[in-house]
Copies of this chain bind each other. A is one copy, B any other.
Amino acid sequence: MATVIDGKAVANTIRSEIADEVRLLSQKYGKVPGLAVVIVGNRKDSQSYVGMKRKACAELGIKSFDIDLPEQASEAEVIKQVHELNANPDVHGILVQLPLPKHINEDKVLTEISLEKDVDGFHPLNIGKLAMKGRDPLFLPCTPKACIELLSRSGVSIKGKKAVVVGRSNIVGLPASLLLLKEDATVTIVHSHTSQPESIIREADIVIAAARQPMMIKGKLDQTWSCSHRCWHKCC
């Protein structure tokens, strides 16, 4: 029988835990976490993501720093903003919403974010530490972290399981694979050059589908259960 993980319920639990932590920090130190979200241009999806992040900050007592730059902002201007946020002691995390307009080099901008404030965990040094045994990144990319969190809070153990990650983007697929490996899963990474991906996916205990195409992977309802956050788990 398929069991659906209720992602929203898990999210609400986590948010209430965070609100408690923030309240404690505020009472004890008179300080709250500060999150800067930088958005360049008017992409509707990006606006909506950023809006949700800012709303969540407001609800949890996290101070939000809103940097909205116009579509024509130059790379130098974006980097200048990042440097100012790096230097601001009330800002503890910096998110630069991707994708940036085409005339801006994303890698260059992301590399400028202070390592201690790279809450997206996309800096190559963080990814390297995520990949390596015995090293720990300062921050984990949020979607892969959410997949693991959903599995763990649903009582699904990962150790020794066959996990298949579909997609290998720097943002989801790759860090999800590295995280599953750190959790001692046997990890296979499936991508656009994989022949017969279905046969590999059918063998998996855990599938994380991060191929940017919803419903690409379908399971029989009695074999698979899926969560709302791009993460499937086959009863094994």
Listed in ascending order, the chain A residues whose CB lies under 8 Å from chain B are: 107, 123-135, 159-160, 168-170, 174, 178, 181, 184-191, 193-195, 197, 200
A160, closest chain B residue (CB): B193
Q: Return the contact of A188 from the options B124, B184, B187 (Cβ within 8 A).
A: B187
Can you identify 18 A-B contacts, CB atoms within 8 angstroms?
A124-B129, A124-B132, A125-B128, A126-B128, A127-B128, A128-B129, A128-B130, A132-B170, A133-B168, A133-B170, A133-B174, A160-B195, A181-B189, A186-B188, A186-B191, A187-B188, A188-B188, A188-B189
Asked if B193 and A184 make an inter-chain contact with CB atoms under 8 angstroms apart, the answer reads yes
A194 to B123, CA, bound (A): 30
Question: A135 — which chain B residues lie within 8 A by C-beta?
Answer: 107, 124
A197, closest chain B residue (CB): B186
